[in-house]
Amino acid sequence: MKNKLLSLLKENQGNITEEVIYEALDYDDPKLFFEDLLQHGCISWMVGSLIYYKDTHEFYEKHYAEIEEIRNELAEQGMEICLPSHNDLKNFFAWMSFEEKARELYDELSR
């Protein structure tokens, strides 16, 4: 899986998928990274680059256009995004987009 991730890294520069790939490559077993993330989410603090609000806000600002694309795609698929009333929206969307790209990447790698 590491070799596949490294080859995908060349195709994904400056986007959310690149960030997911780098996080996955930090793990000895990238497959375990994806499985844990998809089961527990970013809220588990397993994504070191998205723990603090400062970092999730920077991620949101950096990837705003892509996050909007993801949000729109999910809406078109009929997926309702329940916004938390007690949480920071930039943090929510940073985590949501990271998790969605991780899910897409894991699905692609599992074929």
pLDDT at 86 over 90: no
**Distance between CA atoms of residues 26 and 92, nearest Å:** 23
Alpha-helix runs per DSSP H in 1-111 = 2-11, 16-25, 30-40, 53-62, 64-76, 89-110
Domain that holds residue 102: 2-110
The pLDDT of residue 71: 92
Name the pTM for this structure.
0.93
Average pLDDT over residues 5-25: 95
pLDDT at 101 over 90: yes
- Number of separate domains in the chain: 1
What is the band of 79 on the pLDDT scale with cuts at 50, 70, 90?
A: confident
